[in-house]
Chains A and B, each alone.
Chain A
Amino acid sequence: MTLNLTINNESHDLSHIDPDMPLLWALRDHLGLVGTKYGCGIAQCGACTVWLDDEPARACQLPVGQLEGKSITTVEGLASDALHPVQRAWIDHDVAQCGYCQAGQIMSAAALLARNPSPSDEDIDVAMAGNICRCGTYVRIRKAIRAASDALGAGVAFYEPADTSVPQEVLS
């Protein structure tokens, strides 16, 4: 049986793995894309959030055999060598503590802004409610989403690789 998945705009042959395997483990153990994280395995924590045809989805609940023909985006493919405005905002606002949940948070936030570039505070809370951060960085996540929304509003789709340097000091 053949199984080809489009992940980050590249075609991957996954014929050798079990079609029941959740995308999460195929990404992590077979494709070396470990940015997508395992946190609970039951779609409660959001650490494994990826995009399935541009909609956020929990990779722990997606058997790879059902994904033929779908386009999958992981955090590694969000902007490749460039930076997505959400990633830029996460860096500029020094959001992360341990950082384990943040790839999932970023994928949820970027999906929110793609469909709603100017979300209200409530829109943000609702869209992000599926992503747990045990370190409690929610205060900064809200701030970073606002900043990314502003950047998108100003017409910044991506920060080019040449423009991705990390600021020494955090924006306050």
Chain B
Amino acid sequence: MSASEMHATLKRRQFLQASGLGLALTAGGRVVKVMAASDTEPSTLSAYISIGHDGVITIGAPNPEVGQGVNTSLPMIIAEELDAAWSDVKVVSAPVDASRFGAQFAGGSLSVPMRWDELRRVGATARAMLLRAASEEMEVPEVELSTRDSRVTHEESGRSLTYAELALGASQFPLPDTDDLILKSAEQYRLLGKRITNASAAAVARGKPLFGIDVQVPDMVYACFVKCPHIGGAPLAANLDEIKAQRGVLDAFIIEGEAGPYTFDIRNSTRVSPGVAIVARDTWSAMRARKGLKVDWDTSSASSDDSEQISAAARAAAKRAKGAEIVRSTGDVSAAMADASVTATAFYSADFISHAQLEPQSCVASVTDQSAEVWTSSQTPSAVEQLLPAFLSLPPQAVTIHSVRGGGGFGRRLSNEYIFEAARISKRIGKPVKLQWSREDDMAFDYFRSPLYLNMEGGVSEQGRLVAWKHHVISGSADGQKANYGAHYRGQNFPDDLVPNVEISQTLLTSKTPTGAWRAPFSNVYAFAEQSFLCELAAAAGRDYRDFLIELLGDDRWFKEGDRNALNTARAKAVISAACESANWGRDLPAGRGLGLAFFFSHAGHVAEVAEVSVDAGRKVTVHDVWVAADVGQVINLSGVENQIEGSVIDGLSALANQRITIREGRIQETNFDQYPLLRMPQAPRVHVQMLASGYAPTGAGEPALPPLAPAVGNAVFAACGERVRELPFSKAG
């Protein structure tokens, strides 16, 4: 079975020719992108849609699929405006080609909002061309025609033609002017907002070869790559001859690489760590030989991080606000604090955690002197497309990147070092190779979520209003200058723009352990501190937390009209009210049981969650139910969105319960799931999801429901037993 058959990932030319009839926007077919990823330059869009004689409408899904469901939601947007029957649609993974598909990446819950205008226009453009073809064929004016279910109909005469019949004619026309396109209004949607089965549901259930790890190409060999456990160290020597003599081993060699710790640099880095490659005839032979590998490591430039020391330094720094950089200041916090009737101070902390996506990193690379081909489950295939040719000293047209489904992303697959490792090994041995990281490799060489520490202070007036809001953020940094990714204060409307007196300061500590983006960066920790501490203040002032939040949000207001990243207080209040209503907030509960509420706005999504927990005499916490109300604008695929939100709740609970990475002498101590436990089914609560239809444009759903979970549970624990948990993971509190 060839890889291209397996993944239905068609190469660029094949894609245009695939079904014979291109509505693919080819020669001269330039459409100016309305909303581009990062640039405002016009670029070519093409080949999203082709329509076959058999009526099959093939739609390319442009962004990587790692479980967010964009292989279904993005084609649905095209199909809606095209008026294609979804049962006629076949989804394929679009080729990796930034010149035609723009920035292809999966991150920041951005796939849907960034593609929304573009894909609606792609669908509407094709529909306009089909209408024109039908008008000529039937010799009636276009205004008398309507479209539905892959068919153009002339109501008056009762005549109709299918898209399959019209496609060839339509493809001869020049593209219509995008200014003339009429897009549907929300009430005209037939597909969007429904619960549509994921395009890969059947293949997943049948165990079909869908994932990066499943790729097999002819003459392929297998490799593992052993790096220094003390991050950044390099091999001086290894017992390579002994390894080469092992059964099934084909080769073993040292890759020089770049020694020293490294940072998260998706756009520019082609860095390969130093290490020992073992090439074998199958994965097991490589893994077994590895057990006998003896390496003399040079750790002189390696990290010597110790997570306990980092944590202690953060606690010490929290107490010395002097010298911290003031990143936000409004009013007079000191005076307001002095005047407040209730004040509180609390220290919140969160440890390093790992991504632990279930599919360990792997990559198939086939590199020769003339060309290269890689199959990868990267979240940033556009970055690979950009960087790999120069890395291999090949012209861009000689390099093909296949974007293959990934077994989870969560930010781990934003970086691509394993792809460069595989390419380096393939080039050296002159054969296609599958590089397979072990679970232990995956846990040792992650870009971890940076630890974050927050010293929170606040004051509430006699009237029960928040009048002073102050905190000191202590974050990691590789160089002491720039905060680790996702670990710096970025400025936010809630509550900073709602409180008259605000002061936020930041201190950076230096650490060498690589950190990166972990689902809902910054927000995943910050929401815990912010929403827990606000609840502490409300409780100290004798206020109900729902009322306190609603009052704090105040009048209806969109902080920056038209900006999806700006808080909309009306939407915020609506989700808080809805979640509380679903949970029957305020009801009486037996001793040891409590409800906790949290609201957070991140990744353009307004989300409120209420958790019901019990705490038993042994201080064991059980989460029974979580009610979620979310507003992410127009829902594309209701089933997909609900799934993401249910998963965010489980994932958030999984992280807060037990997950913690510890580091000694620059070496990660946890090696596998026995030491780094993920939530299992018996611990999973019931999750009740309610999507609010607010009429706004769609935003992403992969991340915004995660941040409110930890504080909702923390607030519920407080309600149940009066104990306040201020550390992530909760297991640290015993």
A residues sitting closer than 8 Å to B (CB atoms) are 17-18, 20-22, 25-26, 28-30, 32, 34-42, 44-45, 47, 74-76, 78, 83, 87-88, 90-92, 94-103, 106, 124-126, 128-142, 164, 166-170, 172
- A98/B684 in contact, CB under 8 A: no
Interface residues in B626-681 by Cβ distance below 8 A to A read 639-640, 643-644, 646-651, 654, 672-674, 678-681
Interface residues in B251-303 by Cβ distance below 8 A to A read 282-285, 287-288
- B681/A172 in contact, CB under 8 A: no
Rounded to whole Å, the gap between the CB of B152 and the closest CB of chain A is 22
- A168/B207 in contact, CB under 8 A: no
- A41/B439 in contact, CB under 8 A: yes
Rounded to whole Å, the gap between the CB of A72 and the closest CB of chain B is 14
Given A125-B682, A139-B646, A139-B686, 8 more A-B residue pairs with CB atoms under 8 Å apart are A29-B284, A42-B673, A99-B204, A101-B358, A103-B207, A106-B207, A128-B680, A167-B197
B residues less than 8 Å from A96 (CB atoms): 67, 198, 200-201, 204-205
- A39/B358 in contact, CB under 8 A: yes
- A138/B197 in contact, CB under 8 A: no
Rounded to whole Å, the gap between the CB of B643 and the closest CB of chain A is 6
Of A39, A74, A98, the contact of B66 (CB 8 Å cutoff): A98
Assembled-state Cα–Cα distance A141/B205 (Å): 12
- A18/B248 in contact, CB under 8 A: yes
- B673/A45 in contact, CB under 8 A: yes
| Cβ contacts A to B, 23 pairs, < 8 Å | A18-B247, A18-B284, A20-B288, A29-B284, A37-B407, A39-B358, A41-B672, A42-B439, A83-B205, A98-B359, A99-B200, A102-B205, A106-B207, A125-B681, A132-B358, A135-B408, A135-B650, A136-B649, A136-B684, A138-B650, A139-B650, A142-B684, A168-B196
Assembled-state Cα–Cα distance A90/B200 (Å): 11
- A18/B285 in contact, CB under 8 A: yes
A residues less than 8 Å from B567 (CB atoms): none
Assembled-state Cα–Cα distance A167/B195 (Å): 11
Quick one: given A40-B673, A138-B681, are A106 and B205 in contact (CB under 8 Å)?
A: yes
The residue of chain B having its C-beta at the shortest distance from the C-beta of A44 within the complex is B673
- B67/A135 in contact, CB under 8 A: yes
B96-104, B108-116, B208-216, B316-324 - the one binding chain A: B208-216
Rounded to whole Å, the gap between the CB of A112 and the closest CB of chain B is 12
A residues less than 8 Å from B67 (CB atoms): 96-100, 135
A residues less than 8 Å from B679 (CB atoms): 136, 138
Of B1, B213, B674, the contact of A44 (CB 8 Å cutoff): B674
B residues sitting closer than 8 Å to A (CB atoms) are 1, 66-69, 86-87, 194-198, 200-202, 204-211, 213-214, 216, 222, 247-248, 282-285, 287-288, 356-360, 405-410, 436, 438-439, 639-640, 643-644, 646-651, 654, 672-674, 678-682, 684, 686-687
- A38/B360 in contact, CB under 8 A: yes
Rounded to whole Å, the gap between the CB of B729 and the closest CB of chain A is 16
- A131/B681 in contact, CB under 8 A: yes
A residues less than 8 Å from B197 (CB atoms): 91-92, 94, 166-170
- B678/A36 in contact, CB under 8 A: no
B residues less than 8 Å from A40 (CB atoms): 439, 672-673
Of B208, B248, B282, B360, the contact of A39 (CB 8 Å cutoff): B360
A residues less than 8 Å from B195 (CB atoms): 94, 169-170, 172
Assembled-state Cα–Cα distance A126/B684 (Å): 12
- A135/B647 in contact, CB under 8 A: yes
Assembled-state Cα–Cα distance A118/B681 (Å): 18
The residue of chain B having its C-beta at the shortest distance from the C-beta of A36 within the complex is B207
B residues less than 8 Å from A88 (CB atoms): 205
Rounded to whole Å, the gap between the CB of B56 and the closest CB of chain A is 15
- A39/B209 in contact, CB under 8 A: no
Quick one: given A94-B639, A137-B647, A138-B681, are A35 and B206 in contact (CB under 8 Å)?
A: yes
Of B198, B248, B408, the contact of A134 (CB 8 Å cutoff): B408
A residues less than 8 Å from B359 (CB atoms): 37, 39, 98, 100
- A25/B284 in contact, CB under 8 A: yes
- A87/B647 in contact, CB under 8 A: no
Assembled-state Cα–Cα distance A167/B651 (Å): 28
Assembled-state Cα–Cα distance A34/B86 (Å): 29
Assembled-state Cα–Cα distance A138/B87 (Å): 28
Assembled-state Cα–Cα distance A125/B407 (Å): 23
Closest 8 CB pairs of A and B: A35-B207, A136-B650, A100-B407, A98-B67, A75-B207, A99-B204, A136-B647, A138-B684
B residues less than 8 Å from A42 (CB atoms): 439, 672-674
Assembled-state Cα–Cα distance A36/B214 (Å): 10
B residues less than 8 Å from A142 (CB atoms): 681, 684
A residues less than 8 Å from B684 (CB atoms): 136, 138-139, 142
A residues less than 8 Å from B646 (CB atoms): 136-137, 139-140
B residues less than 8 Å from A20 (CB atoms): 288
Assembled-state Cα–Cα distance A49/B360 (Å): 17
- B196/A170 in contact, CB under 8 A: yes
- B86/A136 in contact, CB under 8 A: no
The residue of chain A having its C-beta at the shortest distance from the C-beta of B654 within the complex is A136
Rounded to whole Å, the gap between the CB of A71 and the closest CB of chain B is 18
Assembled-state Cα–Cα distance A172/B638 (Å): 10
Of A41, A44, A75, A98, the contact of B408 (CB 8 Å cutoff): A98
B residues less than 8 Å from A170 (CB atoms): 195-197, 639
Assembled-state Cα–Cα distance A38/B436 (Å): 10
- A166/B202 in contact, CB under 8 A: yes
Quick one: given A91-B201, A169-B195, are A34 and B282 in contact (CB under 8 Å)?
A: no
- B673/A132 in contact, CB under 8 A: yes
Rounded to whole Å, the gap between the CB of B509 and the closest CB of chain A is 29
Rounded to whole Å, the gap between the CB of A78 and the closest CB of chain B is 8
A residues less than 8 Å from B207 (CB atoms): 34-36, 74-76, 78, 103, 106
- B358/A134 in contact, CB under 8 A: yes
Assembled-state Cα–Cα distance A144/B247 (Å): 44
The residue of chain A having its C-beta at the shortest distance from the C-beta of B651 within the complex is A136
Rounded to whole Å, the gap between the CB of A87 and the closest CB of chain B is 4
Assembled-state Cα–Cα distance A28/B194 (Å): 37
Rounded to whole Å, the gap between the CB of B75 and the closest CB of chain A is 13
Of A37, A74, A134, the contact of B213 (CB 8 Å cutoff): A37
Assembled-state Cα–Cα distance A102/B201 (Å): 10
- B201/A166 in contact, CB under 8 A: yes
Assembled-state Cα–Cα distance A121/B317 (Å): 48
Quick one: given A18-B285, A42-B673, are A98 and B358 in contact (CB under 8 Å)?
A: yes
Assembled-state Cα–Cα distance A108/B97 (Å): 40
B residues less than 8 Å from A137 (CB atoms): 643, 646-647, 650
Assembled-state Cα–Cα distance A139/B648 (Å): 12
Rounded to whole Å, the gap between the CB of B653 and the closest CB of chain A is 8
A residues less than 8 Å from B282 (CB atoms): 17, 21, 25, 29-30
Assembled-state Cα–Cα distance A124/B681 (Å): 9
- A21/B284 in contact, CB under 8 A: yes
Rounded to whole Å, the gap between the CB of A44 and the closest CB of chain B is 4
Rounded to whole Å, the gap between the CB of A15 and the closest CB of chain B is 14
- B204/A90 in contact, CB under 8 A: yes
Of B202, B284, B358, B409, the contact of A91 (CB 8 Å cutoff): B202
- B687/A139 in contact, CB under 8 A: yes
Rounded to whole Å, the gap between the CB of A144 and the closest CB of chain B is 10
Assembled-state Cα–Cα distance A36/B206 (Å): 11
A residues less than 8 Å from B86 (CB atoms): 168
The residue of chain A having its C-beta at the shortest distance from the C-beta of B682 within the complex is A125
Most B CB within 10 A of own CB, among A44, A126, A164: A44
The residue of chain A having its C-beta at the shortest distance from the C-beta of B671 within the complex is A42
Rounded to whole Å, the gap between the CB of B313 and the closest CB of chain A is 31
Assembled-state Cα–Cα distance A95/B197 (Å): 9
- A94/B201 in contact, CB under 8 A: yes
B residues less than 8 Å from A75 (CB atoms): 206-207
The residue of chain A having its C-beta at the shortest distance from the C-beta of B220 within the complex is A29
